[in-house]
């Protein structure tokens, strides 16, 4: 038994996410579409903030990284070269009794986990979604929805090299949708058939790959901690040899303790020179690097930190969830890192009448230049604080009758619940300092 505790149950997060507008079932009015989810007004802010925090760390703050946004549909030969047509499969078993399907590598023993019935032999099932390009639906028109963003980076290797003057080691980062026809999606947004990845291909000189692999593992692990995930619910797991993907020399997963147990958040693989060599072979183009120092050509090795934006967002939501005793009730508070919180500030006027509204609206307009701001004037102030706590807003600004006289407002901190009087003229600067990260 693990001693680690999940912060809450998945049911509570699913319910909060729906009630407050983080995540909705896709096509809900038609009964929903299995394993597809829509990010609502707060969810899109949270997920964008996760992606922004990632981009800032791995692109903006580094001089050895650049970005890319490749298309989802690619030449079909890409997936032959990458090995996905032949090898991107999961073993599928069916229960002969209750007809449920399972991934053979996800179940223990040889009986159906649902009813104990006999299972069929495992069949290999390719996870790539197929579609047709153009009006003719024949085999010549088949294209795939990319199952990973990585290949868009490999096929652009020469383009990046010739347009940026990058020198090894350097990397390319990309955020985008990927599609996998998963056999058993589930656990809310943890495993879906359409999801977003945040991937890096970091090109290195062969021989330096193992050391650089270690550095990336450390940095990526620290990123989650810096953004507020508790250390106890994070761990590293090395892949066993028989678990490694067809291209990998070594792989570590960063795992989070989700309500269903330890599960992968991000994989950091050493992909060697597999992809560049294969694309070179299949395309007939030279994909290598000229090292001016040693005066030689070689194919770089690749370290790939590959994270899921949806899984990350779910982990940040779960880890932020706190229930605290508050008099006779319970205060639900999302202690989201300030970089991730959907709204940074809420303006709460104590009256819906002039001239207070005029003042509060003026403050709102000013702060909206810099941050996502909520404005809430309905019901008692205590209720309004609770509503903001529940969605993780770090600061509430209360505009009261005194404000009209002293031109100051009360700023309340979500986590300490302490309140401070701040002159309106200094409010933006005050919040800039508090919200910097």
Which positions lie near ligand ATP, rule CB under 6 A?
A: 180, 182, 191-192, 195, 197, 264-267, 306-308, 310-311
Least distance CB 259 / ligand ATP (angstroms): 16
Least distance CB 175 / ligand ATP (angstroms): 12
Cβ proximity to ligand ATP, 180 vs 384, nearer residue: 180
Least distance CB 237 / ligand ATP (angstroms): 11
Least distance CB 347 / ligand ATP (angstroms): 36
Cβ proximity to ligand ATP, 254 vs 359, nearer residue: 254
Least distance CB 254 / ligand ATP (angstroms): 8
Cβ proximity to ligand ATP, 226 vs 264, nearer residue: 264
Phi, psi of 332 (to 5 degrees): -95, 125
Cβ proximity to ligand ATP, 182 vs 377, nearer residue: 182
**Which residue's CB atom is positioned nearest to ligand ATP?**
308
Least distance CB 316 / ligand ATP (angstroms): 13
Cβ proximity to ligand ATP, 145 vs 345, nearer residue: 145
Entry field: residues in the chain: 437
Cβ proximity to ligand ATP, 191 vs 337, nearer residue: 191
Least distance CB 430 / ligand ATP (angstroms): 37
Cβ proximity to ligand ATP, 180 vs 233, nearer residue: 180
């Amino acid at each position: 038994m693990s001693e680690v505790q999940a912060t809450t149950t998945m049911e509570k997060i699913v319910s909060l996410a729906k009630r407050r507008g983080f995540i909705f079932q896709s096509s809900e009015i038609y009964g929903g579409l299995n394993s597809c989810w829509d990010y609502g007004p707060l969810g899109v802010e949270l997920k964008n903030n996760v992606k922004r925090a990632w981009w800032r760390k791995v692109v903006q703050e580094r001089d050895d990284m650049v970005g890319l946004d490749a298309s989802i549909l690619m030449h079909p030969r890409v997936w032959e070269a990458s090995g996905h047509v032949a090898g991107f499969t999961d073993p599928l078993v069916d229960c002969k009794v209750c007809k449920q399907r399972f991934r053979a590598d996800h179940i223990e023993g040889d009986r159906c986990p649902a009813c104990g019935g006999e299972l069929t032999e495992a069949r290999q099932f390719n996870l790539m979604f197929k579609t047709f390009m153009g009006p003719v639906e024949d085999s010549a028109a088949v294209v795939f929805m990319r199952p990973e963003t990585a290949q868009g980076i490999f096929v652009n290797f020469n383009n990046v090299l010739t347009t940026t003057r990058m020198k090894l080691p350097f990397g390319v980062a990309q955020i985008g949708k990927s599609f996998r026809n998963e056999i058993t999606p589930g656990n809310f947004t943890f495993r879906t058939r359409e999801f977003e990845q945040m991937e890096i291909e970091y090109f290195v000189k062969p021989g330096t790959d193992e050391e650089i692999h270690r550095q990336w593992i450390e940095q990526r692990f620290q990123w989650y901690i810096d953004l507020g995930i508790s250390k106890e619910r994070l761990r590293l797991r090395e892949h066993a040899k028989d678990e490694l993907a067809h291209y990998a020399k070594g792989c570590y997963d960063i795992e989070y303790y989700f309500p269903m147990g330890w599960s992968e958040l991000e994989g950091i693989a050493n992909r060697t020179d597999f992809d560049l060599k294969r694309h070179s072979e299949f395309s007939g183009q030279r994909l290598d690097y000229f090292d001016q120092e040693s005066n030689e050509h070689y194919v770089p090795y690749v370290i790939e930190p590959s994270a899921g934006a949806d899984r990350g967002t779910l982990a940040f939501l779960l880890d932020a969830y706190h229930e605290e005793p508050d008099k006779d009730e319970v205060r639900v508070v999302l202690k989201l890192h300030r970089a991730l919180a959907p709204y940074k500030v809420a303006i709460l006027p104590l009256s819906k009448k002039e001239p207070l509204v005029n003042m509060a609206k003026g403050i709102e307009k000013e702060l909206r230049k810099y941050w996502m701001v909520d404005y809430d004037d309905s019901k008692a102030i205590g209720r309004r604080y609770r509503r903001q706590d529940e969605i993780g807003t770090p600061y509430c600004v209360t505009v009261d009758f005194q404000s009209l006289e002293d031109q100051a407002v009360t700023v309340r901190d979500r986590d300490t619940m302490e309140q401070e009087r701040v002159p309106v003229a200094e409010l933006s600067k005050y919040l800039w300092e508090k919200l910097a990260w």
